Structure 1
């Protein structure tokens, strides 16, 4: 996906003056946004990385790569989240691509969901579809239920019917079954959302599958 997104999403961000780190250890310019993530703060390394990225992403791409290569997993993800919070989408995408290139990376659908939400706020509908094109069946198999439903909700909120259907098709190919309370909840979110977006046949199929699995569980219990 990295190559396709870089092709369609060039870095064109307004210049921001660097902001000094104060004793409270927050990131970005002073404003009324409040504490990060309900009181959580970034590490000093993550703060410095975000500030360095904002200073040098246009003038010195080499510095960007070096800055990201020095960060550990938690700081990379923290930098990604903070840049999205500040609506520096192109920079957050650069960090996302760096995260995906790390040896420790495992498909994290919550990161895709956050990018989807930010893209939707910018009217980047086609880019959302290309983002989801990068997700594979194996990603669905390895993802936890929270990541799956978070991505589905982000796509539905962005009114991306076809991309949501693609996620459902990958879930089916990966052997997803609505055979637990949590999985049934995911199915109902899918069904309601796709029905709203005009995908009635797919919604009916999901409702049938939920009923079939639930009925089978009840039959076994009765037996």
Structure 2
């Protein structure tokens, strides 16, 4: 109790001492106010969180759609949500496209396309891409084709992937090694080795030299098809003589 009383009485005692010193020599005692610390004082920004606590809601949407996608504008975000909402109703979807999608700016509609591919909404992405191709500012771009074809192949929509593929070739654009790899992988996963071989033949005739990865994908996927695999292996050994093509034991798949 005595300690508590003493602590309460310290403030008036200190205050009286300070007042007495100030009245005696004010200029000397005010010198401490002009003291400048050697290290700069850190300015605290009011909107930054303190100790990990957010002081206010900044108004941005929450969730996986927005995370890492700060460049997506509000209109583009609204369009993405609307397309997903009406994707099972063609009539409402077309109406939504006419009233909202067609008025988007160039960067917004491209952002919508990229985000739909990321979310594996590939059928909607194809519709948006068809709209982009009809715009006055559109110019053939191999990278836009590449991303869409790869997204379709990875989701198993090989028919749609080949339709986009044909459109790309009509615009005198050629796939790169990654595109060939994903389409070949997609056909093998789909159980269509003949279609995979057609893409392989197209790759061999491509102006760009083939890379190693598509060959290895084929060599692995064609294990149940020794005749097709032997052709790919022969081409692989001619193009990459320093590389080794792995052959599994004969008791698994027979003699290759």
- Determine if the TM-score, normalized by the shorter chain, exceeds 0.5: yes
Corresponding residue for 2:218? 190
- Which deviations, in whole Å up to 9, do the C-alpha atoms of 1:12-53 show, x marking residues without a partner? xxxxxxxxxx93335xxxxxxx52497334332321222343
CA contact (8 A) 1:113 1:154 kept: no
Q: Which of 77, 81, 98 pairs up with 1:47? A: 77
Unaligned runs of 5+ in 2: 1-57, 244-256
Corresponding residue for 1:18? none
Corresponding residue for 2:139? 104
Q: Which of 206, 210, 215 pairs up with 1:174? A: 206
**CA-atom RMSD in angstroms:** 3.7
Q: Which of 152, 155, 167 pairs up with 2:187? A: 155
Q: Which of 218, 224, 235 pairs up with 1:209? A: 235
Corresponding residue for 2:8? none
Corresponding residue for 1:76? 109
Structure ID, larger Rg: 2
CA contact (8 A) 1:191 1:203 kept: yes
CA contact (8 A) 1:52 1:67 kept: no
Corresponding residue for 1:221? none
Corresponding residue for 2:169? 136
- Which deviations, in whole Å up to 9, do the C-alpha atoms of 1:67-88 show, x marking residues without a partner? 3333355533432344456565
- Mapped to 1, the partners of 2:223 and 2:59 lie a distance apart of 48
- The 5-angstrom pairing of residues 23-38 of structure 1 reads 23-25=59-61, 35-36=64-65
- Mapped to 1, the partners of 2:199 and 2:91 lie a distance apart of 35
- Mapped to 2, the partners of 1:45 and 1:171 lie a distance apart of 40
- Mapped to 2, the partners of 1:99 and 1:201 lie a distance apart of 43
- Mapped to 2, the partners of 1:55 and 1:87 lie a distance apart of 15
Query: What TM-score, normalized to structure 2?
Result: 0.53
